[in-house]
Amino acid sequence: MVVGPRNPVRRVFLCGVLIKATVGATDAEAQDKAGKTETIRNASTKSAGSLKRRSHLSLASLWNKNVDKSVEAGLAWLAETQDARGFWTGEVGHKQGDGYLVFRTVETQRARAEGHIGITSIAGMAFLSGGHLPNRGKYGKVVAKILDYVLHHVSESGFISDSGTRMYSHAFATLFLAEVYGMSRNRKIKKGLEKAVHIIVDCQNTHGAWRYNAFTQKADLSVTVCQLQALRAARNIGIQVPRSTIDLAVAYVRKSQTRRGSNAGLFYYKIYGQGAGRKNSQFSINAAGVTALTSAGVYDLDLIGPAAEFLMDEWQQVREWYPHHYYFWYGNYYTCQALFHAEGVVRERCFRDYYAAIRDHLIQDQRDDGRWVNRVGPGDVFATAVACIVLQVPKQYLPIFQR
C-alpha cells in the first residue's frame, strides 16, 4: 500500500505496544467510501495476539500486605459507620455540569430514618469483594443487614428505592442482589431479584436505553451501562432476561461511540440524540462503555482499543484535576472492570500498569480512620466502597470480576 504525504500512517500504541497503524484522517472522501478507518496489522499485532493466547497475567503479583491493610481499614470504617438498620446515608442527587445537584441531604435521610439504596448496595459489593457473605466471614453480619435492608425496599413493582433514589441506585441494588445470590444461592433473594430485573426489562425504551427515571424515552449511556451490568449479572446466575433486551442495550452502547474525527472510537453521552464532550465526564463514560462491551463478550481491539488507550492516558489527569470528585470514583469503578475483562494487550499490560498505579495512589490517599474522601458527590461511603472494590479486583471473589 502506498501512503502519500496527504495520507499519513498514524501509529496507535496501547500500553507500549503497537496495536494498529491507521490511515490518517486527512483524506475524508476515501474514508467515507471505505465506511471506516482502514486497519493495517503488522508484526507487532502478532505480539498482541500471542499475549491474548498466553493470558499469563499473575494477579497474585499485584497484591501485597499494604493492600491487605488498606482494604481491612476501609471495610472496618464502613462497618463502624453502618446504621443499625443496615444502610448508609449519602447525598442523593445527580450530575449537574462539574457539580452535584443534591435533592435529598444526609440530614434529611437521618431525620426520616432513610438510607441511600445505591450507596448501601455499592458498600455491600465492597464486602462481597473480600469474600464476606451474609452471616459468613468477619463481616457476615454487616452483609446480612445490607441484604435485609435492600430486600425490604423491593416494591411490588420491583423498583428498589429509598429516600428518592432513582434508576442508578436501582441498578446497583439489583447488581448487589445478583452478586450475593450468585455467591450464596440464598432462596429468599431470588424473588426480589427477579422482580427488580423485570422492571429494568420493562422500562427499557425504544432506543434500547434507560435514564434517571423509569419508563422514559430519554436516554443516557451512563445509566444504561448500570442497567446492562445488572442484567448481565442476573442472567449469568440463571435469572431469565430476554436476549433481545441485552442486544438492544449493546446496540445502543455501540451507537454511542464516535465514528470519525479526533475522538474516533470514544464514547459519549447520547441524550436526546446529542453528545456531550467534556473530558472529565468522558473518562467515566468511556470506562462504562468499554465495561458494557466486554461484559457482553465484545473484545475487538479495533472497537475498544481507542477507549482503553484514552482511559490509560486520562485517569491520572482526572486524579489531579478531580481528586475527590465523583468523576474520579465512578470512573475508576468502571475502568478497573474495563481493563480487567479485556483481552490481549489491554488485559496483560494495561490492567497490570493501571492497577499498580491506582493501588499505590489509593493507599497513599486513604485517611487515618480508614475512609476515602468524596467531596463532590454522594459522600465518603461511596468513595470508600469504590476504593475497596478496586483494590480487591485481583481476588476475583465478586462474580463480576471472575473470568
pLDDT at 32: 39
pLDDT at 243: 94
At residue 217, φ and ψ (nearest 5 deg) are -85, -5
pLDDT at 89: 97
* CATH code of domain 59-401: 1.50.10.20
pLDDT at 13: 55
The dihedral sign for the CA sequence 238, 210, 278, 254: positive
> The pTM is what?
0.86
pLDDT at 286: 92
Taking the C-alpha atoms of residue 72 and residue 57, their distance in angstroms, rounded to an integer, is 25
Long-range contacts from 56-65, C-beta under 8 angstroms, 24+ separation? 56/348, 57/347, 57/348, 57/351, 57/352, 59/394, 59/396, 60/394, 62/352, 62/355, 62/356, 62/359, 62/394, 63/394, 63/395
- What are 147's three cell numbers? 441484604
pLDDT at 16: 60
Contact call for residues 182 and 128 (beta carbons, < 8 A): no
Domain range list for the chain: 1-47, 59-401
State the maximum Cα–Cα separation within the chain, in Å, rounded to a whole number: 72
pLDDT at 260: 84
pLDDT at 14: 62
pLDDT at 11: 45
**247-to-118, 223, 377 alpha-carbon distances in Å:** 25, 16, 32
Is the backbone of residue 353 left (phi > 0), alpha (psi -120 to 50) or beta? Answer: alpha
| Averaged pLDDT in 10-residue chunks for the chain of 403 residues | 39 56 44 34 33 54 93 98 97 86 93 96 97 95 98 97 95 97 91 97 95 90 92 94 94 89 79 40 88 84 86 89 92 93 77 94 98 97 98 91 76
Cell 480487591 -> residue: 392
Q: 159: which residues sit within 8 A by CB, 6+ positions away?
A: 170, 196, 199, 214
